[in-house]
Amino acid sequence: MSLEEDSNSEPVEQAEESIGNDFQDEEDGVMDDIGEEEADNIAVGRGSGESSALYNANDVNEEVFEELHLGDVVAQEVQSVWSQFLRGAESREAAGEAIYSALFDAAPSLQALFKTPRAVMAMRFMAGLNSMVLAAHDPKELKTIVETLGFQHLELEVTSPRVGIFRDAIVDLLSEEVGDALTARARDGWCTFLNYIGGAYIYVRVKYAERLTCLATSWAAANGKVAEGDGEEGEEEDPAAAAEELLAAASNDDKAKRKDKGSKSWFGSKSKMGSSGGGGATMSGEAGYGKNFQNAAVPKTFMDMFLFNAAVMGFGAKVWMHEILSSFDNIVLNVANSGRLQEECDVLALRMAKYKGTITLSEYKAVMLASLRSLVKEWSSGHEVSWSWLWANIERMLKAQMGKPARQEAALSAFLASLDESSLMYIRTEVYSKFFSMAPAGQDYFKQSTTRLHFIADKVVSMTLDMYREPKRLVEDISAMGLRHVGYGIPTDLFGPFVTACVQVVRTLTNDDLAEESFRWSLSLVSRILTRVITEGSTIVMKAINANSGKLLRKAVSCAPRGQRALWMLNVQVGTQSISPLLWAIEAGSLDAAKGIIKDLLTIRADRDRYYYGNDILFERHPDIIKRLCLDAPALMPDLLDGLIWRSRVTENGRRRVNYYIKHLIVDADGAFAPAIEWVTDSRDPKIVCHPLLSMVTDLVWSRVAFRTFLNGKAWFLFTLIIFVLAQSILNNLRSEDGNDEASDSVRKAVFACRVFIYIFSMGQCLYYHAKKSLKDIKARNMKRFGYLKLPEYLFNWQDLASVFLTIFLVLMLCLEPILHCLSSAGGDRLFTSFCPEGEDLIFAYSVMSTAAMLFYFLLLTDLSVFSNQLSAYVLVCGLVLSELVLFLFGLTFFVLAFACAISALEQDNKNFSGITKSSLELYKVTFAMFSGASYDALSDSPALLVAVLMYVVTTVIFLLNLLIAQLNGAYSAAYLDMLGFARLNRGKIVAETMPSVSKARWLRFLEGLRLDERVEFGEGDIGLAGGVQVFEPASANITTVDMIRRFGGSTSAAAQWPEDDMAGVDDEDRFERLEKVIEKAMKKMSSSKRRSGAGSSGGPSSMMSSALGASSDSASQAGDSG
């Protein structure tokens, strides 16, 4: 009735029962014993016609455990009362809270039995009762669920008096909530139902507690999880360290999976000895089929010892044993969960079916017992009985399936191959028609297009066959899919009707009973795995994310042990699959929940022993979290960056300590430069880049590392520019003393030498650079479309594009070089001259190319403005407003062309305006104040021309020029607010481009100087956390009046929860909710009192309402005081 451990989801065999499936009768029982007495005691699935005599509404029967037959009418009334109770609650969580409160209001002493936090406990109450009530009409299924839950509560001391307290508290709660709907028959049904559950818990505990405890302790000893010698538990693992190790493993496995599969999904894989659904082992000896056990290592664990004994006993070639061995850990750990045990055995049977040869299961038992006897020092007859009992049940389940998978696969494969397109379309449409008729609520979750729904139906059909062909891979895929469904918030109640709909549709398409049975069994197994994964993954944190509620998230994580609080928000592990609640919240758009997670992770909490800060765990689990936020949730970036800064509340000599935790923004897990700066600059957000943390990181890397490397690179460019200016603008204008255009011999030689240098070292370097970048982008297919052309992506960076134009002009200069054309005709004292018949024809064209190249040289020189943020901001603002000037020139050209054509059509004698070309030139002169006064006087000779020119002046000089001024003013005003941000973006971009050129030795010296591995002080003598650098800022810069570290007294155990944080306060919504609940509760009490007392006195209800309102007012005022 209470659920201390995670409750299993309701089995999906309900769907199979509804269509007459008797295929898996053997799985409804829990484990036979090797002895007669135990076999009788644990037989499950036998119908009992005498259940009405065994169970009643008054007594708890703990002597037997049979099926409960309530009858259809009573079961329907029990379920109806439960449905009405759920509808009256705000949510299932609220209903669970009500049950929890009712139980412990009735018997507060019972609360000591439960160590789980209240919120988690309430959810488990709700899930457990709901699964049992839904199965009230099905005695066989109800017995299986109750039995499974009974195994999960072996550690609780359930007694008949306590069951009575639970029964009465729940029935009284239902009576108060549903009122007259709880009829006498429904009340008796509920009492009988709850007595049956309580008696079953007691029965299971008495019969099997010792045996299951023996299995658990000996299995832990066999795997080195307990101290040797005495068999007691060894040292307790630090939950904080365990959380960090698990997150690191999940992060590493996630990286490996993305590397292997090229996937950017948020799903990772965590290797274990036994994976969910029979995942492969990872210890020595695993190499797939064909691997024998001859080369086993020194046996220290069960797996190693099993491999060793298998080789010694002559079973080294029995590779089918490896399949059982890889799943054995999950089988043993879930021995108390009959549904999960059956699931593991079903998948194991599918995997073993791939083995071609004779399988003798008793051989595995012999090796298993020999290995356990060697590893468990205090082995006794009790251990022998317990493990033999376990293996007998495993063997029974495996034998029930042996030989079937091959026949079922063949039949199902033949059936699916026979389906034509019309049959497939029939399946796609009819499945949803039947499903929606059986479960109308499913329409609220299948919101996709018809084509998407058809794709899902096809996928379901193909999965049934893939389960036979590739069970191991499909179990992994189903686990990943189940975790996605956790994020979607899909109720597991819908899987049963969906399976039923699929089977009913398939039944209409075939007369082959074996094919139908194969399809039903495979789809049932898929559904059971999905249901389990969703149930195990549906944590209270994921529920808060689905509701996108920061308030629910705070309540959820408040239940977590302080050492595992970060783990709850960063990793949900089910079998070998994991999902990150934080990333799911970001990708699902639940930004309120994601914001709450980030703030909670980056809040520093402390007790007397240690500090708790989720910075390291966050970046270990999600090293690309900054990239994810920049792309998917830029609004959360300030919260992340604020959480990486700590400011002291206390000032010292007018200055304040500030710790910047910048380790993960500077160095990655491999010790290289982290790409955080590159991700931020790629986002092109001028506001976020000005955040104090990012400004410090950028300036620190720039000033200590990147500056010198960047300067060294630009020094060569500056040198080539000086040579180019010397050759083209200085030496080129030197003339000989006799006044001839020809320069002296020494000048010509100097010019030739400079130009050769430019062509070889400047142009050659540019050609090599662009060839390398172009080939790289072409090979990687990083191409972007520009009009009808596809260009390498790097050309869309303006510096690279300007460099391309510079290279083109240098190549044209080389082709037009007059000195080269004059070499054949020059000789003697005219060597390297440009003045020869061949060269003189090219001098002007060459000079044009030289002029253009000079401009591009100086354009590329603007990169040097990065040395000063103010100068860089000015240059960038000039670039931003340049677009306005381009628009002005476009408009001006339009008007010039229009008036030039008009004036050319006018009959007039002014030679300056004869023709479109001359008119355009003169009009440009008018605009730029280059038109002389005499020319204006000449216009008076032609009044019509004068009027046309005056209209042009009004249009361009008065209107367009003033409009340009207004546009520039507005553009500058808009850009001015972000000009420093744009400057920092430019610096960050140059830092990201420069860092790959920094030498490793210099980079390591820089990291050593930062001393990021040393802990940074929070105050004098208060050694804090590592990974940061400390600076002092003026006390008036960022006034801090509240300590940013939340310190708590009391227990310092990492397994303890944090006390309730008064700093969190109570918002207005919480106050009104509390007031509303008090009034609602008072009204219910008034109505129930009125029903009991009949008409009553007129003053009674009035006084009660006054009392209730007074109490609610006091409660609201207390809530306001606490806020």
pTM of the predicted protein model: 0.67
Which amino acid, residue 727?
A
Q: Is the pLDDT of residue 40 over 90?
A: no
Residue 747 has pLDDT above 50, yes or no: yes
Q: What pLDDT sits at residue 539? A: 83
Angle, in degrees to the nearest 10, between helices 381-401 and 361-375: 150
CB 657 within 8 A of CB 647: yes
At residue 1110, does pLDDT exceed 90? no
Taking CA atoms, 726 is separated from 308, 823, 847, in Å, by 82, 22, 14
Residues 6+ apart with CB under 8 A from 265: 258
Pairwise pLDDT comparison (385 vs 234), residue with the higher score: 385
Q: What is the pLDDT of residue 425?
A: 93
1038-1062 mean pLDDT: 85
Q: State the DSSP code for 382.
A: H
Is the dihedral angle over the CA atoms 448, 451, 457, 458 positive or is it negative?
Answer: negative
- The pLDDT assigned to 18 comes to 34
Indicate the pLDDT class of residue 760, thresholds 50, 70 and 90: very high
To 5 degrees, how large is the angle CA 925–CA 927–CA 932?
Answer: 45
Q: Which two tokens stand for residue 883?
A: 């677009």
- The encoded tokens of residue 1040 equal 């801090």
Q: Is the pLDDT of residue 1100 over 80?
A: no
* Structure confidence at residue 262 (pLDDT): 40
More confident position, 734 or 348: 348
Q: Is 273 helix (H, G, I), strand (E, B) or coil?
A: coil
Q: Which tokens sit at 611? A: 């500090």
Instruction: Give me the pLDDT at residue 786, please.
Output: 83
At residue 723 the predicted structure's pLDDT band, cuts being 50, 70 and 90, is very high
Whether 625 shows a pLDDT value over 70: the answer reads yes
Burial class from Cβ neighbours inside 10 Å (0-12, 13-18, 19+) for residue 1020 reads: exposed
pLDDT of residue 1088: 64
Give 420-469 pLDDT, tens digit per residue. Answer: 999 999 999 999 999 999 888 888 888 888 898 999 999 999 999 999 99
* Nearest Cα residue to 855 out of 808, 797, 792, 795: 808
Rounded Cα distance, 134 and 142, in Å = 8
Which tens digits make up the pLDDT trace of 950-1005? Answer: 999 999 989 999 999 998 888 888 777 788 888 888 888 889 988 998 989 999 99
Burial of 57 by CB count in 10 Å (0-12 exposed, 13-18 middle, 19+ buried)? middle
- Paired residues of 1057 in beta bridges: 561
> Is 753's pLDDT higher than 50?
yes
Which tokens sit at 344?
A: 């593991």
What does the pLDDT read at residue 143? 85
Question: Which residues, in sequence order, are CB contacts of 970 under 8 Å at separation 6+?
Answer: none
Average pLDDT estimate for 69-87: 87
Residue linked to tokens 């990687």: 780
On the 0-12 / 13-18 / 19+ scale of CB atoms within 10 A, 470 is middle
d(CA 611, CA 605): 6
pLDDT digit string (tens) for 115-147? 555 656 677 777 788 888 888 888 888 888 887
φ, ψ of residue 101 in degrees (nearest 5):
-65, -40
Instruction: Report whether pLDDT(897) > 70.
Output: yes
Query: Is the predicted pLDDT of residue 878 greater than 60, yes or no?
Result: yes
d(CA 281, CA 223): 14
Neighbours of 202 (CB within 10 A): 22
Please, is 563 exposed, middle or buried when counting C-beta atoms within 10 Å of its C-beta (0-12, 13-18, 19+)? Answer: buried
Strand 268-269's sheet: what is its strand order?
268-269, 577-579, 572-574
Does 57 score more than 50 pLDDT? yes
Q: Check whether 899 has a pLDDT greater than 50.
A: yes
pLDDT of residue 109: 63
* Encoded tokens for 407: 């026949």
State whether residue 636 is helix, strand or coil: helix
At 626 the pLDDT is: 94
Q: In what order do the strands lie in the sheet containing 655-660?
A: 645-652, 655-660, 1029-1034
Residue 120 has a pLDDT of: 61
pLDDT surpasses 90 at 357:
no
User: How many residues appear in the chain?
Assistant: 1123
Per-residue model confidence (pLDDT) at position 1122: 41
Task: Scan for tokens 């080129």, then name that residue.
Answer: 732
Of 659 and 52, which is predicted with more confidence? 659
- φ, ψ of residue 633 to 5 degrees: the values are -150, 65
Of 997, 1006, 987, 992, the C-alpha closest to 675 is: 992
Residue 547 to residue 672: CA distance in whole angstroms: 39
pLDDT at 234: 36
Calculate mean pLDDT across residues 320-347. 86
* pLDDT for res 298: 64
Element containing residue 604 per DSSP (H, E) = strand 604-606
Rounded CA separation 594/147 (Å): 39
Mean pLDDT of all residues belonging to the chain = 79
Contacts made by residues 303-306, CB under 8 angstroms, sequence distance 24+: 303/273, 305/222, 305/371, 305/374, 305/375, 306/367, 306/368, 306/371
Average pLDDT over residues 274-290: 36
Which residues, 6 or more positions from 572, have their beta carbon under 8 angstroms from its beta carbon?
483, 486, 537, 539, 541, 542, 578, 579, 580, 581
Chain-centre distance for alpha carbon 1026: 26
